[in-house]
């Protein structure tokens, strides 16, 4: 994939219908993470293979580091009174793992929290695969997991250095 001839847009808003209620499981999960001061780990996700690699890698990263926990981006962004949203906003740091340079979820997240506390990771340069493939099911499950493991290990190594090697700097690219 190339970014050289892509279209672009200025910042824009998306209208979202209001909502009532909470997800009991999501509330319990997020409240526990707030108590334990966990760092939320976001990802984009499939059915695109690049998003699926990001999702799998995010799960692996969060599983490996006790200070991290997976966060639901949809609930955090679209249910603004939820504990998932509160956890995201109150966390000292947020890990954002997107599947490609379009940074779909990262572009929302940076408007929801202090951008300075977001560590943004684009996983595509970490594996350089599947440029012309869309559906995750076109890649065997074992290969998806293997590639995600390699990506997760690279992310963990960078985060361990605590030098913010993947840290996004303005203008968020």
Q: Which residues, including other chains, have CB under 8 Å from residue 119's CB and lie 6 or more apart?
A: 93, 94, 95, 96, 159, 164, 166, 167, 168
Q: What is the CA radius of gyration of the chain?
A: 16
Pick between residue 38 and residue 120 the one whose CB is nearest to ligand SF4: 120
Tokens of 119: 């560590």
**Residue 19 C-beta: closest distance to ligand SF4, Å:** 22
* Cβ atoms of 101 and 3 closer than 8 Å: yes
**Residue 21 C-beta: closest distance to ligand SF4, Å:** 26
Q: How many DSSP H helices and E strands does the chain contain? A: 7, 4
Pick between residue 26 and residue 46 the one whose CB is nearest to ligand SF4: 46
Q: Of all residues in this chain, which one has the CB nearest to ligand SF4 in the complex?
A: 99
Pick between residue 28 and residue 133 the one whose CB is nearest to ligand SF4: 133
Pick between residue 40 and residue 99 the one whose CB is nearest to ligand SF4: 99
Contact residues for ligand SF4 (CB under 6 A)?
A: 44, 48, 50-51, 54, 98-100, 102-104
């Amino acid at each position: 994939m190339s970014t050289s001839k892509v279209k672009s847009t200025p910042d824009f808003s998306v209208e979202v219908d209001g909502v009532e209620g909470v997800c009991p499981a999501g509330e319990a999960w997020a409240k526990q993470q707030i108590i334990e001061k966990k760092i939320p780990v976001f990802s984009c996700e499939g059915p695109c293979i690049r998003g699926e690699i990001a999702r799998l890698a995010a799960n692996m990263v969060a599983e490996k580091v006790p200070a991290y926990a997976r966060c639901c981006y949809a609930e955090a962004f679209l249910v603004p009174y939820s504990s998932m949203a509160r956890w995201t906003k109150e966390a000292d740091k947020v890990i954002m793992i997107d599947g490609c340079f379009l940074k779909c979820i990262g572009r929302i997240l940076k408007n929801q929290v202090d951008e300075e506390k977001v560590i943004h990771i684009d996983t595509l340069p970490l594996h350089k695969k599947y440029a012309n493939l869309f559906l995750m099911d076109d890649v065997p499950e074992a290969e998806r997991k293997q590639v995600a493991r390699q990506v997760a290990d690279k992310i963990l190594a960078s985060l361990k250095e605590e030098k913010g090697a993947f840290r996004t700097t303005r203008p968020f690219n």
